[in-house]
């Protein structure tokens, strides 16, 4: 495709959440106009875009307006209906493609793609009926039962130890199609951000080491402090295999488990920028959101360069409720007095427990220095400093 040049084109995004908001900010910084489609009248991305189409993702009038007003269109989260992307692709440039997003929307299909790409994933079984449930290999237990669709941030997931617990968990999940994954002993969780252009050019960011709490990403550190160079190289190579096999255009995040026995297995992928890549906004030469804009618009994809050691702290709505039900603003003034701190709030109207409200990036000359400041910030915010 011919590049859509800054100052001359309008970019659209399906989804009005924080990832869409940061995409819009990156696009506007380059000189693009932006249109957001989201049914929420007060969405974070809709609040900052030049235009907000308030419609359902499959609303034909809303999609027609997006096609009329935009030169190219992307998505900010994987659960936008693939049909919406497919419909728009008949009228405008769309990246990533509906087929690629559809793979990421179904865990069973996703795992089949990993295997076809030659990338190892955790031992697993697909469960869609009672016959498949009864045929599950006992060696997969203990495991984690996950819904094939719509699960994220620990939702739609149940740990099971026995066949009886597995059957009960499948009942609790309303017997929807699921994937049972063997529970594996982990050394660390890591992720790799990859970007691919429509011309096949691929670039990647450094390996990111992630700490999750209750299934939600809490801390990302880059460089990955506990992961040796050969494991990092294997993760990058696998991520690039996945994105090439998918024929993907845009930014893709692939999450991996590094196991106690030294193996590296892929966990899942997200067809968009990712929480674990938020550090790039302050620690890299090109943020993941600018890279998403570049891939969509057909601009060159520069090899990203990390210029500062970085730690990212995820900020959930719980921080606004340190002593009960009365909300109060966290001590941002004290946090921002620490060197190398960069606060990003998402413009959400109301803080709620478990809701992603923002993130804090900490940059420094060395990983130890960044981690030390991040721990100070965590203490000020009442977060665990166990990283």
65 annotated to a ligand binding site: no
Tell me whether residue 146 is annotated as binding: yes
306 is in an annotated binding site: no
356 is in an annotated binding site: no
Secondary structure letter of residue 121 according to DSSP? B
Residue 182 annotated as lining a ligand binding site: yes
Q: How far apart are CA 77 and CA 20, in angstroms?
A: 8
- 282 labeled part of a ligand binding site: no
Whether 184 has a binding-site annotation, put simply, is yes
Residues 6+ apart with CB under 8 A from 2: 298
- Beta strand segments in 138-201, E: 143-147, 157-160, 178-182, 186-196
CB-hemisphere CA count at 13 Å for 17?
Answer: 16
* Cα distance between the two ends of the chain: 44
Is 156 labeled as ligand-binding?
Answer: yes
- The answer to whether 354 is a known ligand-binding residue is no
The answer to whether 267 is a known ligand-binding residue is yes
Is there a binding annotation on residue 189?
Answer: yes
Q: 7 labelled as ligand-binding?
A: no
**C-alpha angle 214-38-93 in degrees, rounded to nearest 5:** 105
- Judge contact between 105 and 79, C-beta under 8 A: yes
Cα of 11 vs its chain's centroid, Å: 20
Q: Are strands 72-75 and 10-14 parallel, antiparallel or unpaired?
A: parallel
Structural element, H or E, at residue 70: none
Does 107 carry a binding-site annotation?
A: yes
C-alpha 76/C-alpha 35 separation (Å) is 13
* Tokens at 276, concatenated: 């674990």
Whether residue 154 is annotated as binding a ligand: the answer is yes
Q: Is 124 labelled a binding residue?
A: no
Feature table: binding site: 107, 146, 151-157, 181-184, 189, 212, 267-268
Feature table: binding site for ATP: 107, 146, 151-157, 181-184, 189, 212, 267-268
């Amino acid at each position: 495709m011919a590049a859509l040049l800054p100052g001359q084109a309008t970019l659209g995004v399906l989804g009005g959440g924080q990832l869409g908001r940061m995409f819009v900010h990156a696009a506007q910084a380059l000189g693009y106009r932006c249109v957001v489609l989201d049914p929420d009248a007060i969405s974070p991305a809709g609040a900052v875009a030049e235009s907000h189409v308030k419609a359902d993702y499959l609303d034909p009038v809303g999609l027609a307006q997006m096609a009329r007003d935009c030169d190219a269109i992307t998505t900010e989260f994987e659960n936008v209906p693939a049909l919406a992307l497919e419909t728009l692709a008949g009228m405008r440039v769309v990246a990533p493609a509906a087929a690629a997003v559809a793979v990421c929307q179904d865990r069973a299909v996703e795992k089949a793609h990993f295997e076809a790409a030659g990338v190892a994933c955790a031992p697993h079984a697909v469960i869609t009926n009672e016959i498949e449930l009864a045929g599950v290999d006992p060696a997969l237990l203990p495991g984690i039962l996950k819904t094939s669709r719509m699960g994220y941030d620990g939702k739609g997931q149940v740990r099971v130890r026995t066949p009886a617990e597995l059957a009960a968990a499948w009942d609790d999940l309303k017997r929807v199609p699921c994937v049972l994954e063997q529970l594996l002993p982990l050394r660390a969780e890591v992720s790799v951000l990859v970007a691919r252009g429509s011309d096949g050019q691929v670039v990647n960011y450094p390996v990111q080491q992630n700490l999750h709490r209750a299934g939600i990403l809490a801390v990302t550190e880059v460089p990955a402090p506990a992961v040796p160079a050969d494991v990092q190289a294997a993760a990058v190579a696998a991520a690039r295999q996945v994105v090439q096999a998918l024929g993907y255009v845009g930014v893709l995040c692939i999450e991996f488990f590094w196991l106690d026995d030294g193996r590296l297995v892929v966990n899942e992928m997200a067809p968009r920028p990712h929480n674990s890549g938020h550090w790039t906004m302050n620690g890299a030469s090109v943020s993941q959101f600018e890279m998403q804009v570049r891939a969509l618009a057909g601009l060159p994809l520069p090899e990203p360069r990390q210029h500062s050691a970085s730690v990212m702290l995820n900020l959930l709505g719980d921080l606004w409720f340190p002593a009960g039900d009365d909300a109060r603003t966290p001590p941002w003034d004290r946090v921002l007095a620490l060197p190398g701190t960069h606060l990003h709030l998402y413009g959400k109207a109301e803080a709620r427990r478990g809701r992603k409200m923002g993130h804090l990036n900490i940059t420094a000359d060395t990983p130890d220095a960044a981690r030390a400041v991040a721990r100070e910030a965590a203490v000020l915010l009442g977060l665990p400093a166990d990283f």
